[in-house]
Structure 1
Amino acid sequence: GILAFGLGFVRLYGLLTNLGFNRSHLKRVSEGKDLGQCIGLFIMFKFGLLVLFNGALVLSMYTWTDVMGRGFQTQEHVTVIYVLLLYINLVAISQIFTVTFNGLLEIAKSQIPRIVGNVIRLVATIFVALTGTRDNAAVLLAWTFVLGGAVELAGALWLFRGYPVARPTRQLFWSYMKFGIPSMVLTSMIMITVNIDKVMLQAFWSAADVGRYAAAQRIVLIVGFVSTAISSVVMPSISGLHSRGEHRRIQDLVNRTERYLLLGAIPPIVLFLTLPDRVVYILLYNRSDPDILLVLALWMLIVVVNTPYRALLQGADRPDIMARVGVLQATASIGLNLLFIPVAILGVTVFGWRGLGAAVATLLTQLVISGYLRYQGYRIAGVRSNPRHVLVLPAAVGMAVTLMLIDGLVPATRWYHLAAFGLLGLAVYAGLLFLLRQIDHEDIAFFMRTVHPGAMARYIQGELRGDDGPVRRRERRPPRHGGRAGSNRGGFLPAHKGRIPRR
């Protein structure tokens, strides 16, 4: 709970390390602007923002504790905040390189440093959990984040060797500002929305309530990581298609992305919805509320299917609309959290649902945003959600019934029981999809290629070897059908009937 609060608190200030310029850099690199100048300008922006971030957080802490004489629940809270301040600095610097890789659609290079850093942090976390004491557990866990961030930065810097860095032009500077200032509102609002729930739980209740809520949230976020990764590919692809006015291909790409994200997200979501008490007992040893997990699972399903629509608005160069999305999302989140978390606010009695209230507020906020994103997607590019997507629901219901029947016969009490239940449910789900003709042999082949370790290893080796030659923006061609820049491959999603033919 202390660690989750510290992360939420520091990340609220961490919005100052971005302010929309990550999106500006991703956008301009994907459009084919001079790579060296883009990198040089991004470095300038990033270090200027880091000075602003560190100054704002340290000054506010000094004002709160020394000038106003206030404090936190424990001194451990303060120490964790300052340790995580260092972690945010490391991550922000590594974004100079990883955002550049994403803009070039060099996905392996952007993800490998993060994966290695997280593995190192995982090992350190296990060590702390087994050898640490209650007195310093939160601080030691915070230092594992610093260790992982340092490894991530070192790996990203090593992969960045040979990339050009040049002095930016004034025209490019104003190009970044034009896209970044409206995106600044979006980025700030997103950071507030993502972290305000933990901060409010700490303010109105305790670190224990933060921990129970954050633990359930961490479980469902595993599903969200996939959609985040897909978004990093889809957004530059849409940007390239939009710059060429190919709206029909954008519609095709958004619909296929939504379909495959939905197909992939449903199995774990159904597991969480069907057996929330088992998941909480096995993975968290009853240190959370199954109702929180259930509500957050519904929230994550909506987040996943909204991913391509967010990528559409970002890639269509409409930061003004994304800014409105951010303001709407933050306003709804703050208002709903104030309604559901505390017992009373300004003398008015409200729900007082603690962590469950935070989960309900998060779900309702995402529902509000979902409708607005789809409306804007239709208005800008004529994108409509395919009504055939609802035909996956019978397969989801079949999986849920199977899981409940099995759990009634053999209750799950160990993690391997949960894994076996999940695999059996997945088999039923896939079989029903095949019988309902919602997937075919081509879809199955696509999923097998996606998870095939050999194919992934060959892709990573090719990217790290630089099979496309030295990274020079003038040598790169815009990606087609979402393919990787500089390659002659097609889209990362398989073709289907009615797709727009290549010219």
Structure 2
Amino acid sequence: MIAKNSFIIMITQGTCAVLGMFGLFAISKIWGEHAPGIMGVVWFGMSFVGAFSFITNLGFDAAHVKKISEGKDLGKCNGTYIAIKLILTGIFAASVISTIIIWKYVLNEQFYDSTRESVIYLFIAYYVFFSLAQIPIMTLNSLKKNAKSQISILSDTVMRVFLLLIIALAGISGALIVTDAGTQIVNVPARYVWPAFFHPIQAFLSTHIIGAISFAYIAGALSMFVVGFIMLRKYPISRPDKEYMSMYLRFAVPMMIPVLFSFLNSYLDKVILGYYWTSVEVGYYFAVQRISFFVMLVPSAIGIVLFPTISSMYVKYRSNVKKRNHQLVQLTRFSERYISMVTVPLVSTFIVFAVPLIDIILNSSFRPGTLSMQILFIYTYVTTMYVPIFFLVLGTNRPQMIAKAFVLSGVSNIVLNLFLIPRDGLLSFVGIDGAAGAAFATLISALIMCWILLYYSGRIMKRGLFEKRIILHIVAGIIAGLLMLVVSNQFDIIQWYHLISLTLIGLGAYLGILFALGEFRKAELNFFLDTVNPLGLLRHVRDEMRGKGT
């Protein structure tokens, strides 16, 4: 069940990632060298508001999943969660607006340019819809109705990418972009001649390009919100009471600090980057970060299923600690092993072919982000390794330990960003500053997080949780990467099918090495084949959509 649900999530999130990359690909190819600057303005605004979005969560998302998976009254859980979400979302919007007012009228400071401020206001609306859409998504994930939750997530991407393609084809007229060389006026003609009836729309989009892109994101979040609540309509919602409010609050309070640092780590690097550099540098970093997060599909999918599973096991075997710990350790190590086995060849391939990947998916104007992308791929692998351990600690009711880990990792991330991102940063003499500095800070903080979680999980389970066989995966990945590098040096990689051919060579070498080391045998092959069996997956999705097992 865990494998199939995880694979369904991986398929959906993979589809979303591919569609998102297709949208970014279209924009990059159509707008050429202007794409980093234009998208950088949008992504800065998104990151600025996103840094406040921890307020919409504050640990209550995890509390909702935890309480439903423990078998609490579903109607009261839903009513409590909805009430809390509405309150937090209102506080979030008020906080962002208040910060802008204080910045402008109390401190007498200004934003980098007027366009950036307007984008910030638009992304307040985006995060409001995104926050409220988590109500059905978290509820369905808690019930392990992952196919339903993923449909709402998919609707966001489909809507956003569809609108972004239309906007990209409209061209750009008179956009102002700040670069190292000064302010530039950007004009890109429409790729195709629009029918006369649509000329007013095309003219409006091209002259309001940054606002139009922001509205595409808002429309996607709104779509996710609507579809999610359609999926939730048959589930009970009851009036919250004091008991359930207190129960949610008790679990969420220790999680507030981890959530704060988790969101800050996700967005603050782009804000600091935009402060010390320009929107162009933000564009480089955000774009390659999106590519690197392909690797995160595997652990994020498994984590969505793993958390409620661990929580329910923790309650089920409460009276038999020895059996409970044994099963939790087995489940965690199993997850670590198979996550690593899948992600290592992806990381190896993306690191070796970073430059051609950027050229093919984006365009050569994004090449300054090459080093940061390679560092980020190492970061994503480190993160994949601590995801099962993170959910083990959280699922066994140790939110205080999670809080301590996030504080140490989060503070180190913020400090490192401040010292590594500036043009005269600590490592600028070796080329690590700007986007590369942000990526390196992220990697170091992830290593700190991984070490702390391993320590705490060992204390909880009375044994080490590190799966030693992942060392074999890393060795095989390095050898396969070197082989791909040697073969690729024999010719220029200019087409996507060159990359696929070289990737298949690397994958074959990787599996061959694992087979020689005794790490990939018939049992592993059968497990993967059963997981991705399309007929089994279709039956699983069909049964869930028909409500079987509800």
TM-score normalized by the length of structure 1: 0.89
Aligned to 2:492: 411
Relative to 1, partners in 2 of residues 1:420 and 1:147: Cα closer, same or farther, differing over 3 Å?
Answer: farther
Task: From 501, 504, 514, give the equivalent of 1:420.
Answer: 501
Residue deviations 1:360-417 (CA, integer Å, cap 9, x gap):
1111111111110100011112342122221223421332133112211232112222
Q: Is the 8 A contact 1:216 1:293 kept in 2?
A: yes
1:399 equivalent to 2:480? Answer yes
Deviation (angstroms), 1:349 = 10
Which is worse superposed, 397-406 or 77-86?
Answer: 397-406
Amino acid at match of 2:107: M
Aligned to 2:543: 462
Residue deviations 1:49-95 (CA, integer Å, cap 9, x gap):
01101111111112223443322222221121111111111111111
SS in structure 2 of the partner of residue 412 of structure 1: coil
1:181 equivalent to 2:253? Answer yes
Aligned to 1:284: 362
SS in structure 2 of the partner of residue 223 of structure 1: coil
Task: From 452, 458, 465, give the equivalent of 2:533.
Answer: 452
Q: Is the 8 A contact 1:241 1:247 kept in 2?
A: no
Q: Is the 8 A contact 2:336 2:388 kept in 1?
A: yes
Residue deviations 1:426-460 (CA, integer Å, cap 9, x gap):
22222332232212223222222333333322211
Task: List alignment gaps of at least 5 residues for structure 1.
Answer: 470-503
Q: Is the 8 A contact 1:254 1:383 kept in 2?
A: no
Taking the TM superposition and a 5 Å limit, the aligned residue runs for 1:324-363 are 324-343=404-423, 353-363=433-443
1:10 equivalent to 2:49? Answer yes
Amino acid at match of 1:140: A
For 1:383 and 1:137, locate their aligned partners in 2 and report how far apart those are by CA, in whole Å.
Answer: 53
For 2:63 and 2:362, locate their aligned partners in 1 and report how far apart those are by CA, in whole Å.
Answer: 40
For 2:398 and 2:222, locate their aligned partners in 1 and report how far apart those are by CA, in whole Å.
Answer: 34
Aligned to 1:265: 343
Amino acid at match of 1:377: S
Which is worse superposed, 122-131 or 233-242?
Answer: 122-131
Aligned to 2:64: 25
Amino acid at match of 2:329: Q
Which is worse superposed, 55-64 or 10-19?
Answer: 55-64
Residue deviations 1:264-321 (CA, integer Å, cap 9, x gap):
1111100122222222222222213321111111111101111101111110111111
Task: List alignment gaps of at least 5 residues for structure 2.
Answer: 1-39, 176-207, 319-323
Residue deviations 1:179-205 (CA, integer Å, cap 9, x gap):
101111110111111111100001111
Aligned to 1:274: 352
For 1:384 and 1:12, locate their aligned partners in 2 and report how far apart those are by CA, in whole Å.
Answer: 32
SS in structure 1 of the partner of residue 237 of structure 2: coil
Deviation (angstroms), 1:326 = 1.6
1:250 equivalent to 2:332? Answer no
Amino acid at match of 1:193: N
Aligned to 1:36: 75
Aligned to 2:87: 48
Task: From 457, 468, 471, give the equivalent of 1:377.
Answer: 457
1:164 equivalent to 2:236? Answer yes
Task: From 302, 306, 313, give the equivalent of 1:234.
Answer: 306
Task: From 319, 342, 352, give the equivalent of 2:399.
Answer: 319
Which is worse superposed, 23-32 or 418-427?
Answer: 418-427
Runs of 4+ with deviation above 3 angstroms = 66-69, 348-352
Q: Is the 8 A contact 2:42 2:214 kept in 1?
A: yes
Aligned to 1:80: 119
Q: Is the 8 A contact 1:339 1:350 kept in 2?
A: no
Q: Is the 8 A contact 1:185 1:323 kept in 2?
A: yes
For 1:113 and 1:342, locate their aligned partners in 2 and report how far apart those are by CA, in whole Å.
Answer: 39
SS in structure 2 of the partner of residue 409 of structure 1: coil
SS in structure 1 of the partner of residue 469 of structure 2: helix
